[in-house]
Amino acid sequence: MSTATETARPSAAPVVRDVRPDARRPRPRVGKILLGALGIVLSLVWAFPVYWMLLSAVTPDARLRASTPSFLPTHFTLSNFGSVLTGSGFGGALRMSLMITGVTIVVVLAFAFLAALAISRWRFRGRTGFVLAVLFIQMLPAEGLFIAQYKMLSTVGESAPVLGLNSVLGISILYAAMLVPFTIWMLRGFVAGVPAELEEAAMVDGLSRTKAFLRITFPLLAPGLVASGVYAFLQAWNEFTTALVILPAEDHQTLPIWLRSFLSASANRGIDWGEVMAASTLIAVPVIVFFLFVQGRMTSGLVSGAVKG
């Protein structure tokens, strides 16, 4: 970061400097410019798929089928979005995704918050075992569990359809189980960051334990809860593997599963890539917005152990 003074020069600086006869170290400068160019090229390569998705979404299908693709929005149209939004399925899938994500977030936050409180404010017998289990469980892949979860929900669904396959509650419980461990871990850090002494001081001043917690500790934990909530939103909103198995009925699909069906249906009549990209854009944009909001906390949560260790 201390190179900032050097790197903050206006871009004309290298030219001026090369003219000087006593430019002792021209090589690092040239090297830096070349590296900068490489960085820009790589950025363009990495950004291209997202750009191509957005561009194709606003280009009519006839133009997309042309032998020479256009790299700028020269035939701008919103008709692709129109046909996706008015077509079958999107509304229902959106509702399904919203309900499942909503239930999951509430359950995950409430349950994980209580558990995070327990492991960061108390040392009790079995605590290490619990933390160990939580850390291992968060690594388990959905692929290693979905057959059993499918059988479990189909059996339960025979007597209680609200908890069976294709039900909001059924898959929300599975999502909650998948997300609670990491959320406990994430919130643990936030809870540990609020010193218990603050709460104790409030109690000395005459507040009850509950009031001290609600008035002092809870507001300080709000950023942590928001970050964890957004994380749970992203995971539940994007989840594909479990949803594919647990929600087989076509009218109970979440958005990711719906996008796959939409593409398959489009494939039967020669894929309309404009519409498919418009559908992808509709799914991706809210996620990208939320992601940018939460990412800083996520990176530090995942590798902080390694950075410190």
Partner 1 sequence: MTAATPAPAIAIRRRRTPATPYLLLIPAVLVLLVGLGYPVYWQVVTSLQEYGMMQQFGAPPTFAGLDNYARIFSDERLWTVVGRSVLFCLVNAFLTVAIGLGLALLMKAVHAAVRVTMQVVLLLAWATPLVAAVTVFRWLFDYRAGVVNWLLVQMGFEQYQGYAWLAQPLTFFLVATVVIVWMSVPFVAMSLYAGLTQVSEEVLEAARLDGARPAQILRHILLPLVRPVLAIVLLLQIIWDLRVFAQIRLLQDAGAPISETNLLGNFIYELGIGSQDFSGAAAVSIFVLLLTVLLAAPYVRSLMKEDAA
- Torsion-angle region of residue 57: left (phi > 0), alpha (psi -120 to 50) or beta? alpha
> For residue 180, what are its two tokens?
């609670």
Write the CA distances from 192 to 54, 116, 209, 217, integer angstroms. Answer: 42, 9, 18, 11
End-to-end CA distance of the chain: 23
C-beta of 1 vs 19, nearer to partner 1: 1
Residue by residue, DSSP assigns 113-134 as: HHHHHHHHH---TTHHHHHHHH
To partner 1, the closest distance from the beta carbon of 225 in angstroms equals 15
C-beta of 76 vs 136, nearer to partner 1: 136
C-beta of 38 vs 204, nearer to partner 1: 38
C-beta of 214 vs 288, nearer to partner 1: 288
C-beta of 21 vs 159, nearer to partner 1: 159
Q: Which residue, 130, 119, 113, 100, is CA-closest to 237?
A: 100
For residue 20, give every residue at least 6 positions away whose Cβ sits within 8 Å of its Cβ, in sequence order, or none.
none
C-beta of 8 vs 12, nearer to partner 1: 8
CA angle at 79 for the pair 73 and 80, rounded to the nearest 5°: 80
To partner 1, the closest distance from the beta carbon of 210 in angstroms equals 12
For residue 253, give every residue at least 6 positions away whose Cβ sits within 8 Å of its Cβ, in sequence order, or none.
89, 92, 93, 96, 243, 247, 261
